[in-house]
Amino acid sequence: MRLNKYLAQCGVCSRRDADKLIEQGKVLVNGQVAGMGQQVEETDTVQVGKKVLQGKQTCKVLAFYKPVGVVCTERDPHAEKKIMDMIRCPERLTYAGRLDKDSEGLILLTNDGDLINAMMRGANRHEKEYIVKIDREITPDFLEIMRKGIYLKDLDITTRECKIEKIGKYTFRIILTQGVNRQIRRMCEACGAKVRSLKRIRVMNIRLGDLKPGEWRKVTGEELETLLTDTGMLNRK
């Protein structure tokens, strides 16, 4: 197995980041500095920094309901409530796709760096679904402008076309296929509206379901198999 894939399956990081660690000379194989493209076997001892890896892990995915006020960060010492403080797990997990502090809803966490990379890659156009409440009545014009895509001046980009429907006087459902920072809030502001509440209820085939704020569940069985299939990770080489 290629070393970068091995590091990803051990939950260290994505293959891309693994290549950076190898290039920086931070990875040892059997006590020797590893080289780019190096192959490893199960009998090899692989070390990253001072940590000796225990071997590749079974892919684990958790669905977590991030409450409002919790920050998607692993190390920020100034954050009062961090997402990783709320999930106690013996192995390293990383979240795929942020939600800002004032938003809530579904966050996926996994020990598989390659899976995170596949889910986050914008070119794959994986769907994310949200329920949003704004401070003004929703009109057909608002829905049409949002649906066609909006130019965001501060980022100098135009958002992709999306699916959107009105489900209440001030509430709409929206499905995005890209991950621009604070995208929905920026889109609404460009239309003269402010977001009052924002909840993510689905990432690809994984749904928030009956989870309550702060709760999490394991993604297993057919649900996990579908996620791995849709990201091209089921039969990875």
Catalytic residue list contains 100? yes
Of 100, 102, 154, 230, catalytic: 100
Decide the pairing of beta strands 104-110 and 195-203: parallel
Q: How far apart are CA 158 and CA 139, in angstroms?
A: 21
Using left for φ > 0, alpha for ψ between -120 and 50, and beta otherwise, residue 31 falls in left
Q: How many Å apart are CA 39 and CA 7, to the nearest integer?
A: 11
In sequence order, which residues have a C-beta less than 8 Å from that of residue 4 and are 6 or more positions away?
Answer: 15, 16, 18, 19, 22
For residue 231, the 8-state DSSP code is T
CA 113 to CA 89: how far, in whole Å? 16
Q: What residues are labeled active site?
A: 100
